[in-house]
Amino acid sequence: MFDVDFFVIGGGSGGVRAARIAAAEGGARVALAEASRVGGTCVIRGCVPKKLMVFASGYPEAIADARAYGWEAASGGFDWAAFRGRLGAELDRLEAAYRATLARAGVEVHDQRATLVDSHTVSLEDGRRISARHILIATGGRPFVPEVPGAELAIISDAVFDLPALPGRIVIVGSGYIACEFASIFAGLGARVAQVFRAPHILRGFDAEARAHLQGAMAGQGIALHPGAEVVRIEADGADGAARIVHLTDGTRLEADVVLYATGRRPNTAGLGLEALGVGIAPSGAVEVDGYSQTAVPSIFAVGDVTDRVNLTPAAIREGQALAQTLFLARPTRAEHPLVPSAVFTRPEFGTVGLSEEDARARGPVEVFVATFRPMRSLFAGREDRALFKLVVDAASRRVLGCHIVAPEAGEMVQLAAVAIGMGATKEDFDRTLAVHPTMAEELVTMKTPARRG
């Protein structure tokens, strides 16, 4: 007889969803251990606080636009301390909501670290051991800083929300979505931003034309981009050693108040005791699982970023739900990711779903439809911003294979485009759809002539 039916290690999006469904809908006895805060990376130190910072960073531009529209408006200064206080209160509210959800479902929460003793037993920090029929690893991932001289002088994205003051100068290392988002955020808040990355372009793996468009927009906002460069070393500077000097491989010397590394994340598997039990661990540190999120040990499962499949919150939630349905609702469900929409919350946003032009061309002939234009709102305000809308179409079947948007609220638009593309919509289906005018999104259904074929 086991103490519980299901023990979940990790209180992030995937773990919480699996625990709640197993207990509330499956009637399972469920326990969950979380060493930090319930809600995980997304709620506590990722998507949610970052998006609130995105909102905050957009107000200076909105106030400037308001003046162009005839309003008497002035922004004054940004009160970082006031924002941090409100942000902290909101994160507390969200964590309380997550805890209440688990409590209503009957999940027992242990606010401490848990490790594995054997294939059916976990050990808590306080020395207690709990046996479980099934164990779920949902410990997520963590940012990392490469080993360069002075790396201890840099911070990771987790620490951004706890900065005591808004930096006047910040160097951001990395070219992925986290680095690009924080570059846009701090530029919008008034900091001098330099972004350093070794690749020639930002956002490797995304559609090349769309990311080039976004890179140009970021440069136009005053973000100093340093492509093809790497950090050689970081030094403390100033009388109190609080400032930073960042030396690059091309000889550039950057001065900063804060150096932020956003060069990727690694799965949180160290010290859990997985390898000793025979659980497969990839070179990246990820837990190896099959389509049902099961490891090589039948009673141990893993979902979310710790598996390094699709490192997005909605994917972790989908995986957690599929697992709970498989184990406790007699509905075997594979954790599949056939079509993954995503958004990069830069200014402007970059929303994307489906194949890039490059990936689609590798599969066969395509037609590519592209529209670039100055959106009505910013054009009237006198800004030079340009939006990009792009559809990638299979030349033979006429199915829309990819949609890429660089524009304000691109994430909102691409979510709806994902429904159509997921249903197999053709370019002619898009063309038959009546436009909503005047909107930016009407470009999705009014592009008639391919920009490229082949």
What CATH number did the domain enclosing 395 receive? 3.30.390.30
Q: What is the pLDDT of residues 391-440, one digit of tens each?
A: 999 999 999 999 999 999 999 999 999 999 999 999 999 999 999 999 99
* 343 part of a folded domain: no
* 95 part of a folded domain: yes
The position carrying tokens 């990936």 is 359
Residue 75: per-residue pLDDT: 84
Residue 265: per-residue pLDDT: 93
Residue 263 reports pLDDT greater than 90: yes
pTM over 0.85, yes/no? yes
Note whether 45 and 67 are within 8 A (CB). Answer: no
Give CA separation, 253 vs 249, 412, 423, in Å.
10, 39, 51
How many domains in the chain?
3
Note whether 292 and 326 are within 8 A (CB). Answer: yes
Selected catalytic residue, list 201, 213, 404, 437? 437
- The DSSP result for 134-184, as a single string, is EEEE---EEE-----TTGGG-EEGGGGGG-SS--SEEEEE--SHHHHHHHH
Question: Which pair of structure tokens corresponds to residue 107?
Answer: 């999940």
Three-state secondary structure call for residue 188: helix
Q: Which sign does the torsion angle of CA 81, 87, 88, 90 carry?
A: positive
Could you tell me if 287 and 259 lie in one domain?
Answer: no
* Mean pLDDT over the full length of the chain: 97
Q: For the residues 309-314, what does the mean pLDDT come to?
A: 95
Residue 273, judged by CB atoms within 10 A of its CB (0-12, 13-18, 19+), counts as middle
By percentage, how much of the chain surpasses pLDDT 70? 100
Could you tell me if 13 and 133 lie in one domain?
Answer: yes
- Among 262, 298, 261, 265, smallest CA distance to 280 is for 298
Residue 76 reports pLDDT greater than 90: no
Q: Of 328, 359, 379, at which residue does a domain stop?
A: 328
Could you tell me if 238 and 181 lie in one domain?
Answer: yes
Could you tell me if 438 and 377 lie in one domain?
Answer: yes
Could you tell me if 58 and 156 lie in one domain?
Answer: no
Q: CA 394, CA 402: separation in Å to the nearest integer? A: 9
Is residue 437 flagged as an active site residue? Answer: yes
Residue 229: per-residue pLDDT: 98
* 173 part of a folded domain: yes
End-to-end Cα, the chain, rounded Å: 63
Give CA separation, 61 vs 39, 65, 190, 302, 351, in Å.
32, 6, 11, 43, 21
* 237 part of a folded domain: yes
Task: Classify each residue of 56-72 as buried b or exposed e, where b means 16 or more C-beta atoms within 10 Å of its C-beta.
Answer: bbbeebeeebbeeeeee
Domain ranges, residue 195: 151-263
* 382 part of a folded domain: yes
Could you tell me if 120 and 222 lie in one domain?
Answer: no
- Among 267, 284, 326, smallest CA distance to 301 is for 326
Could you tell me if 324 and 432 lie in one domain?
Answer: no
Residue 119 DSSP label: T
Could you tell me if 291 and 400 lie in one domain?
Answer: no
Q: Of 214, 245, 263, at which residue does a domain stop?
A: 263
Note whether 365 and 379 are within 8 A (CB). Answer: no
Could you tell me if 285 and 408 lie in one domain?
Answer: no
Could you tell me if 280 and 257 lie in one domain?
Answer: no
* 404 part of a folded domain: yes
Residue 194 reports pLDDT greater than 90: yes
Q: What is the pLDDT of residues 36-75, one digit of tens each?
A: 999 999 999 999 999 999 999 999 999 999 999 999 998 8
Q: Of 234, 263, 292, at which residue does a domain stop?
A: 263
Could you tell me if 138 and 187 lie in one domain?
Answer: no
Q: What is the pLDDT of residues 174-185, one digit of tens each?
A: 999 999 999 999
* 333 part of a folded domain: no
Residue 239: per-residue pLDDT: 86
Could you tell me if 79 and 212 lie in one domain?
Answer: no
* 121 part of a folded domain: yes
Q: CA 113, CA 352: separation in Å to the nearest integer? A: 37
| CATH code for the domain of 82 | 3.50.50.60
Residue 454 reports pLDDT greater than 90: no
Residue 238 reports pLDDT greater than 90: no
Residue 314: per-residue pLDDT: 95
Q: What is the pLDDT of residues 359-379, one digit of tens each?
A: 999 999 999 999 999 999 999
